[in-house]
A and B are shown apart, each in its own frame.
Chain A
Amino acid sequence: MAESAVRIGLVLPDVLGTYGDSGNAVVLRQRLRWRGVPADVVAIHYGDPVPDCLDVYLLGGGEDEAQALAAGHLREHPGLRRAAARGAVVFGVCAGLQVLGTSFVSGDGKRHEGLGLLDVDTAPGRRRAVGEIVADSGAGPLTGFENHLGVTTVGPGSSPLGRVRTGTGNGDGTDGAVTGHVLATYLHGPALARNPALADLLIGWVTGSPPPDLPLPEVDELRRERLRAARRGARR
């Protein structure tokens, strides 16, 4: 698969793009290119049909109305669902996690249908979870920042991505959800920049085998610093 470029879909950055989420596309593209695999980012805008031929789909965060619009658009244009059905990699953060689930309830109490790619349901919690989050996962400790009101319940059709050490995540001690090649987390924004093992897990799914090591001392340094800060209780 190395001869043709990996195509990374940035899904609805104009409605789901609140927190620097496009960073995840930059990280995946660079980690592929640095290993000699050509990669391109394709932005899919609101109002446009969603192609079903891409290798990776990335969904970012967004506010309530934006999230409902995104879910509506992705239900109406079934490209993402079709791609997921044939095994394409899908990664969502924050609102992206909720949109990929079965359903979510917005702040005004309205229930919205999600894409059903993950067996999760989300309802508003009592207080906003804001701050550094650390969760232990199969890809090692994940570090990130969360900022959401949602409380997410993972059903039998998905498994949680990680177990929360610091922070809130899904709200029951777990964070995120995985079904097949669909993976999502409450670690928002450029989660893959802080968690290279997670980025490489997704890349391995795309290319069919785990990618070779890619030493980046800057990333190691940032991870050390953030994990240390979380231990010190640097949540606000």
Chain B
Amino acid sequence: MPLDSPVQAERRARTAPPRRTRVAVALARAAAAVSRGTGAGAGGVVGGRIAAALDPDVVRHLGRDRTVVLVTGTNGKTTTASMLTRVLEPLGPVAANRDGANMPDGLIAALVDRPDAPFAVLEVDENYVADVAQRLRPACLVLLNLSRDQLDRVGEVRAVERGLRAAVAGLPGTAVVANCDDPLATSAAMASARPVWVSAGGSWTADALACGRCGRPIQHDGPAWRCRCGLARPRPDWVLAGDRAVDSAGRTAPLALQLPGRANAANAAMAVAAAALLGVDPAAAGARLATITEVAGRYRRTTLAGHPVRVLLAKNPAGWRETLPLLGDRSPVVIAVNGREADGRDLSWLWDVPFEVLRGRPVVAAGERSADLAVRLTYAGVPHVRCADPVRAVAGLPPGPVELVANYTAFRQLGQRSGDG
């Protein structure tokens, strides 16, 4: 059931935004250009802030007459949005917050940057979905998964689920593509008038054990799950089966991904289901995904201090559980952990990561909170050395490939230092 074919979306009459919005957009673009020109950093977000100050309703005006897709969830937002953007690009320009700036200023910046793009694919922080979706009225909301991430900052995961559920209930025209193997994501998406269920594989179940509706533990039985309150896994419209996504009508999208791991296959299945909803042929969508080799610097292979290094991002227990199996057999692992506002200042989550599996290989604890990590590794029985600076940590290793895993701000610092921020 295509919502609004891409062609229609492009042909739709494009009404001019109000003068106030035009002025806000022009000034925001100018500010962004100046900020970029002076090297003051990601100019877009500055521009977004200016536009929002000049026109409080700028999001609604900027989103008008576009086909908007929002992508949210705890893990995989940047990757899935990037996949959807790649799939939609042959149909026309796509406004996208590729840098992962997923709060309102970042979204405005992305829309301001491509005012004429008929499509917008925006990743949105879970806590801003209600506000943003209310204004943008997206054709589609992709809800990937929900697990704990930065509890001290964003509140408890089940409170996030309740917020999303209320937001979804207020979007009768929006199709919600959700992973039905994730009980919390399902609980939120169940409020939608137009859910599309994707069996993309379970996330880390420890967080979802308590039901979003009643708090009792969810009972799992193979792929099926249910709670005593009646919440249960719906029948999937799409199933991720190995390296392909198949829908209930038998349409198949082969996924020959270059990005590693089960989590990325799950992200791809979600992206294909959303693209199909917008009228894209699933097989063609799958083929487009094979051209992606890195996402905002993640998975990139680079050279650091003379070592070939693969850079991975893992910022919470669920992300770590997906990352650990990707690590090469014997290469040394440098782990960089920060505890800034954007990471969450509470490092308790380190104890939910099974670092025990790293026993038997060289490990370096790095980052601003390497002391917390070192204690966790000590109790996990993983011999390690500590070196707060991740680049010096790499430099101190014997020649050969290195896996470098960093959480959010540690990862961004690395990007800035290798000059491709």
Contacts and interface: CB of A to CB of B under 8 A. Distances in A.
Interface of A: 14-15, 17-23, 26-27, 30, 45-47, 62-66, 68-69, 130-132, 145, 147, 188-190, 193-194, 216, 218-219, 221-222, 225-226, 234, 236
Contacts of A46: 216-217
B375 A219 contact: yes
A47 B152 contact: no
A131 B217 CA distance: 28
Interface in B339-355: 341, 345-352
Given A20-B350, A225-B371, 9 more contacts: A19-B349, A22-B352, A26-B351, A64-B215, A65-B158, A69-B216, A132-B345, A145-B348, A219-B378
Interface stretch (B81-89, B206-214, B284-292, B398-406): B206-214
The interface centre, meaning the residue of A20, A26, A30 with most chain B CB atoms within 10 A of its CB, is A20
Contact of B348 (A190, A216, A234): A190
Contact of B351 (A30, A189, A218): A189
A236 B152 CA distance: 9
Contacts of A130: 152
- A interface: dominant SS: mixed
Given A20-B351, A234-B345, A145 B152 contact: yes
B210 A14 contact: yes
Contacts of B57: none
B379 A236 contact: no
The interface centre, meaning the residue of B352, B371, B379, B381 with most chain A CB atoms within 10 A of its CB, is B379
B376 interface: yes
A225 B349 CA distance: 18
B379 A145 contact: no
Nearest to A219: B375
Interface in B135-159: 148, 151-152, 156, 158-159
A46 B210 CA distance: 10
B346 A147 contact: yes
B374 interface: yes
Nearest to B317: A20
Q: What band does the interface of chain B fall in when counting residues whose beta carbon is under 8 Å from A?
A: 20 to 34
A65 B215 CA distance: 5
Given A15-B209, A66-B210, A68-B215, A222 B341 contact: no
Leading 4 A-B pairs by shortest Cβ distance: A65-B215, A189-B348, A23-B351, A20-B351
B208 to A, nearest CB: 10
B372 interface: yes
A30 B379 CA distance: 7
B379 A193 contact: yes
A193 B148 CA distance: 21
Given A15-B217, A26-B379, A63 B210 contact: yes
Nearest to A107: B159
A20 B375 contact: no
Given A15-B215, A20-B352, A68-B215, A189 B374 contact: no
A47 B216 CA distance: 10
Contacts of A226: 371
The interface centre, meaning the residue of A62, A189, A194, A225 with most chain B CB atoms within 10 A of its CB, is A189
A46 B211 CA distance: 13
Nearest to A16: B210
Contacts of A63: 156, 158-159, 210, 215
A18 B217 contact: no
Given A15-B215, A218-B378, A65 B345 contact: no
Contacts of A45: 217
11 contacts: A19-B346, A20-B349, A20-B351, A26-B351, A63-B215, A131-B152, A147-B151, A193-B379, A194-B375, A218-B375, A236-B341
A147 B156 CA distance: 10
A65 B372 contact: no
Contact of B217 (A19, A20, A30, A47): A47
Contacts of A190: 348, 351
B345 A131 contact: yes
B375 to A, nearest CB: 5
B214 A65 contact: yes
A73 to B, nearest CB: 10
Contacts of B374: 218, 221-222
B352 to A, nearest CB: 5
A84 B222 CA distance: 38
A229 to B, nearest CB: 9
Interface string B67-104: 00000000000000000000000000000000000000
B375 A18 contact: no
Contacts of B372: 222
Contacts of A147: 151-152, 346
Given A14-B209, A147-B152, A193-B379, A22 B351 contact: yes
B4 to A, nearest CB: 39
A18 B151 contact: yes
A66 B346 CA distance: 21
A190 B217 CA distance: 22
